[in-house]
Each structure stands twice: as C-alpha cells, then as structure tokens.
C-alpha cells in the first residue's frame, strides 16, 4: 500500500517520497514522486494486478528493461519522443513498482474525449503520427514489443513530443512470440484480430496493427475501430472489444465474418459506414464526420490503412502491415513543404521519378556492381556500404529494409526489417529473418515475402 507524503526505500537503497496521485487504471496506480537529494519530479507506478502469473510476468518485464536501462536510455537520443523506461525499482512485500521520468503532457485519450481531432489541422495530425512512429520505431529497432499501443498509453506534449507510458508490458519480441512474457492481449479493438482469435501470440506485427488503429482514429477523429461498419453495428450481440467479437463469432456460426472487412476497403463494401443505419442524430453526425475526414487522408496513407486492416485472419496478410519506420517516412514526406489543405499526391510525381531514374542510371557503368530494380529497370551503383531503406526517394527502392556491405570475401545483406524478406539465389529460394546476414552472389534477388512485384537484383559481374 502506497500513501501520499510518505517516504519509501528503493531496491538500490535510495529513498523517494510520494508527493501526490497522478492517475489510476486497471494496471496500476501512478504518483508524482521525488527522489532523495533531487528536486526533479518523477512518476512512480505501483503495479496493481490480481492475477499472480500476470503480475509475475509484469515484474519480469520491468526487471529486464531495468537491467538494460543504460543501453536503452543512451539510444534515446531523439528529442521528438520519449519512452518512460524504469529508472529505479521498488519492491517490498507484495508491492512492486518503478520510478520513471515524468514529462507533463496531454494523453491521446483526453484529446479524443474532447473531440480535438475533428478540427485539428492535417499537418498537426501528420506531426503527431510522425512522433509516435519514431517512438514505436525505436522500440522495434531495439527488438522490443510494446503489446499495448492505444490512445490511453500515449501522451503528447506542447513541444510536440510523443511519450510512451506504461512500459510494464514491454518485452523482447523474440520472447513475446513464444508467449513467455505475455501480460495482456491489448486494449479494446486495438487487439489484433489474429491475437483475439488465438491464431497468433502478440508480437511486432500485432503492435503494427494497434499502431495503425491509433493512427486511423487520429486521422478520422473516430472512437470506433476500423471494422465498425454496418455489419458490426447490426450484429445481435454488439461486442465491446476484439476479444468479445472473436468469442461471439466463434460461438455463433450465424454471426459471420463480414464484420472483419475494413470499413473503407475500396474493393469490398460489405461493411462500409452507413450514417443512416440508425436514426439517432449524434450517431449519424459521427459517422458522416468519419467519412468526411477520411476523404482528406492522402492516398498513400489510405493504402497503408488498407494493408494494415485487410484480411486480418490470414496470417500472411499481417506481414504486409506497415512498420513504424514506414509511417515515419510517409509523414515526413507529407510534412515536407505541404500546407494543411494539400493532401493529394503530387501531380508531378511521375515526372520527378523519371528524372531520378535517368540520374541514377547515368552513374552506372556496364560492368560495375549495381542494384537493378526489376519492375522499373532502374540501376543504382552499389557502394561499399549501401542502405536499402523503405520508401527511400534517394535510391528509388520503396520497401526493402537492410544494409548491403562489401567485405573482404564479398558483398553481404543484413536485414533490419521486422518483415520477412525472401530471396532467390541461382534457382534456390529462402527467407532472411530480422538481423540475419547473408552473402550475396551475382544476380541475387531480394524482395518482401508478399511483395514479389518489388524485387531488386544484385549485379556483381
């Protein structure tokens, strides 16, 4: 039991005083605290969990993050975001908690309740998505799975910094995929369908689903999920979250699966948003606003949403979900020189692309090592170190993520992609996992497992 104005001793024997309560939720109580000899205000979270196994796993996650805190904090060099990592641990009897940095800001939940996204300028939305993406990308680069992205776990400061809070669910992606650190499936309809239907454990791809759901809500000012269309709204038992939706669907064959169709799927209108579905004026206005705001979403972002929400129970489809780095790059491009009202794709895109292709091809000599983009026949000189980044407009390669490096015994490709990358080598096919390195041979082909139209070929001779 933690009380205000009392002093407690941390695991390292430092003392802290609880100043005032900050908030309370289903997973814990948060207080403002001060460390002995330090005037700075910190946040202290006391884990509140009735299930002993879930509490044990939360404690395990926090201890693991704490052991790596110095390395992780040193890599938090981006001033646009912050992740509230455990700085110190408190443990006494049945009480367990941790000290983290306190950054005052407004949580996304409050912004949704105040309906601020309805009138927020597009550029402000792009900037917010960009900052949240940077934080999520940092987690993915460090091999961490957040497991609970939602509007309740993200704060946004006046200086446009995104802050990820509630890190007691954060764990190694390799361990979450084995179910060793799972403490939560997610929140509400942020839970990935394949997780709710028990087809897959939470991992980096379910994180990507939750992230896309959050961005969908920001862009449309919606409190609904991407599946809240006429099918879901007319179900006999309307679910409160993805878990109950999965339960009703599996329990009653007549419930059907049409509700799992993205409401803005351009090829399937079975679950589209119908404002006149109910006669309630507030319902109709809310639905019309979602449609109106979605029309302002840039075409490339619409495609990202479609990739994130299409055919969710097909385990291959989850590999197509946009990674955090892709959202970051997309929003950077949208923010670059565009006004709030400029949301359409640049009409000069084809002309500029053609110029870039000509410029890139000029730098390639016939026998020099180079990369060939098979779909466009564009060639790019292969340097000793070549970053193959997603949507990198400098090299014309849209999707691949990794680095090609020249070593004494040849060229090597190392994947930095959360997606599975496939290859073809002299008739043989295989896959390259995250952080795996493979030696390249002449005419070696790389591509994402589900994007065979975007192959690149390595020409060494």
Do 311 and 176 reside in the same domain of the chain? yes
Residue 354 covered by a domain: no
Task: Calculate the average pLDDT of the chain.
Answer: 83
Q: Given the structure tokens 């055919």, which residue do they identify?
A: 311
Beta bridge partners of 171: 145
Distance of alpha carbon 376 from alpha carbon 112, whole angstroms:
43
Span 109-113, mean pLDDT? Answer: 92
φ and ψ at 342, to 5 degrees? -90, 95
For the chain, the three-class secondary structure string (H helix, E strand, C coil) is CCCCCCEEECCCCCEEEEEEEEEEECCEEEEEEEECCCCCEEEEEEECCCCHHHHHHHHHHHHHHHHCHHHHHHHCCCCCEEECCCCEEEEECCEEEEEEECCCCEEHHHHHHCCHHHCCCHHHHHHHHHHHHHHHHHHHHCCEECCCCCCCCEEECCCCCEEECCHHHCEEHHHHCCCCCCCCCCCHHHCCHHHHCCCCCCCHHHHHHHHHHHHHHHHHCCCCCCCCCHHHHCCCCCCCCHHHHHHHHHHCHHHCCHHHCCCCCCCCCCCCCCHHHCCCHHHHHHHHHHHHHHCCCCHHHHHHHHHHHCCCCCCCHHHHCCCHHHHHHHHHHHHCCCCCCCCCCCCCHHHHHHHHHHHHHHCCCCCCCEEEECCCCEEEECCCEEEECCCECCCCECCCCEEEEEECCEEEEEECCCCCEEEEECCEEEEECCCCEEECCCCEEEEECCCHHHCEEEECC
Q: Which two tokens stand for residue 122?
A: 């597009």
pLDDT at 353 over 80: no
* Average pLDDT rounded to a whole number, residues 110-133: 93
Lowest mean pLDDT, pick from 12-26, 74-88, 283-297, 441-455: 441-455
Domain boundary among 345, 378, 397: 345
Return the pLDDT at 456: 81
382-414 pLDDT, tens digit per residue, is: 878 777 754 333 444 444 567 888 888 888 988
Say yes or no: 154 and 58 in one domain.
no
pLDDT of 431: 84
Q: Are 435 and 325 members of one domain?
A: no
Q: What integer pLDDT is reported at residue 98 of this predicted model? A: 94
Looking at the structure of the chain, the number of domains it has is 3
- What pLDDT does 130 receive? 94
Per-residue pLDDT, 376: 63
Give me the CATH number covering residue 400. 2.60.200.20
In this predicted structure, the answer to whether residue 18 has a pLDDT above a threshold of 60 is: yes
Can you give the CATH number for the domain in which 67 is found? 3.30.200.20
Q: How do strand 162-164 and strand 81-83 relate by DSSP bridges?
A: parallel
For residues 235 and 131, membership in a common domain is answered with yes
Distance between CA atoms of residues 264 and 273, nearest Å: 8
Q: Do 161 and 223 fall into the same domain?
A: yes
Residue 356 domain-assigned (yes or no): no
pLDDT of 215-265, one tens digit each?
Answer: 999 999 999 999 999 999 998 888 989 999 999 999 988 899 999 999 999
Same domain? For 124 and 262 the reply is yes
Residues 90 and 111 in one domain: no
Write the CA distances from 429 to 114, 174, 345, 441, 452, integer angstroms. 52, 24, 36, 13, 13
Average pLDDT in the 41-47 region? 93
With respect to residue 382, please indicate whether it lies within any of the assigned structural domains.
yes
- Would the pLDDT of 363 be above 50? no
pLDDT-based confidence at residue 176 (cuts at 50, 70, 90): low
Comparing 295 with 235, the larger pLDDT belongs to 295
Domain that holds residue 126: 106-345
Does 209 map to a domain?
A: yes
Are residues 248 and 270 part of one domain? yes
Q: Is residue 235 part of a domain?
A: yes
Question: By percentage, how much of the chain surpasses pLDDT 90?
Answer: 43
Predicted pLDDT of residue 257: 93
Considering the domain boundaries, does residue 48 fall inside one? Answer: yes
**41 lies in the same domain as 171:** no
Dump pLDDT digits (tens) for 50-80.
888 888 888 888 898 888 888 787 777 666 7
User: Does 331 share its domain with 190?
Assistant: yes
Lowest mean pLDDT among 58-72, 110-124, 188-202, 230-244: 58-72
């Amino acid at each position: 039991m933690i009380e205000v104005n009392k002093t407690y001793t941390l695991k390292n024997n430092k003392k802290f005083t609880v100043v005032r309560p900050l908030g309370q939720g289903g997973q814990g109580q948060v207080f403002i605290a001060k460390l002995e000899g330090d005037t700075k205000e910190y946040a202290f979270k006391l884990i509140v969990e009735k299930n002993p196994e879930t509490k044990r796993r939360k404690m395990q996650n926090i201890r693991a993050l704490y052991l790596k805190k110095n390395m992780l904090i040193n890599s938090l060099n981006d001033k646009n975001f912050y992740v509230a990592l455990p700085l110190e641990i408190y443990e006494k009897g049945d009480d367990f908690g941790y000290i983290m940095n306190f950054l005052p800001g407004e949580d996304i939940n409050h912004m949704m309740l105040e309906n601020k996204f309805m009138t927020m300028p597009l550029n402000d939305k792009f900037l917010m998505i960009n900052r949240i993406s940077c934080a999520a990308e940092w987690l993915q680069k460090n091999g961490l799975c957040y497991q609970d992205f939602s509007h309740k776990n993200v704060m946004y400061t006046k200086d446009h910094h995104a802050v990820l809070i509630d890190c007691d669910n954060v764990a190694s992606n390799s361990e979450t995929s084995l179910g060793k650190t799972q403490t939560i499936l997610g929140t509400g309809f942020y839970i990935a369908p394949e997780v709710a239907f028990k087809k897959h454990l939470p991992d980096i791809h379910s994180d990507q689903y939750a992230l896309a759901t959050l961005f969908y809500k920001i862009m449309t000012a919606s409190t609904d999920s991407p599946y809240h269309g006429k099918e879901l709204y007319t179900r006999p038992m309307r679910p409160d979250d993805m878990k109950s939706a999965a339960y009703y669907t599996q329990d009653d064959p007549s419930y059907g699966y049409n509700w799992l169709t993205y409401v803005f799927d351009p090829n399937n209108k079975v679950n589209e948003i119908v404002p006149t579905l109910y006669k309630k004026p507030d319902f109709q206005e809310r639905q019309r606003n979602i449609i109106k705001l979605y029309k302002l979403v840039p075409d490339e972002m619409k495609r990202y949403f479609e990739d994130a929400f299409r055919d969710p129970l097909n385990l291959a489809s989850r590999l197509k979900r946009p990674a955090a780095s892709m959202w970051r790059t997309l929003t950077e491009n949208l923010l670059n020189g565009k006004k709030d009202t400029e949301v359409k794709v640049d009409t000069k895109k084809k002309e500029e692309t053609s110029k870039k292709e000509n410029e890139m091809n000029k730098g390639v000599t016939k026998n020099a090592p180079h990369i060939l983009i098979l779909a466009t026949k564009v060639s790019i000189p292969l340097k000793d170190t070549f970053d193959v980044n997603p949507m990198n407009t400098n090299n014309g390669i849209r999707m691949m993520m990794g680095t090609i490096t020249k070593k004494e015994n040849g060229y090597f490709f190392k994947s930095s992609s959360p997606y599975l990358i496939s290859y073809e080598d002299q008739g043989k096919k295989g896959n390259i996992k995250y952080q795996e390195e493979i030696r390249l041979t002449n005419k070696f082909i790389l591509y994402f497992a589900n994007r065979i139209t975007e192959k690149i070929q390595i020409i060494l001779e």
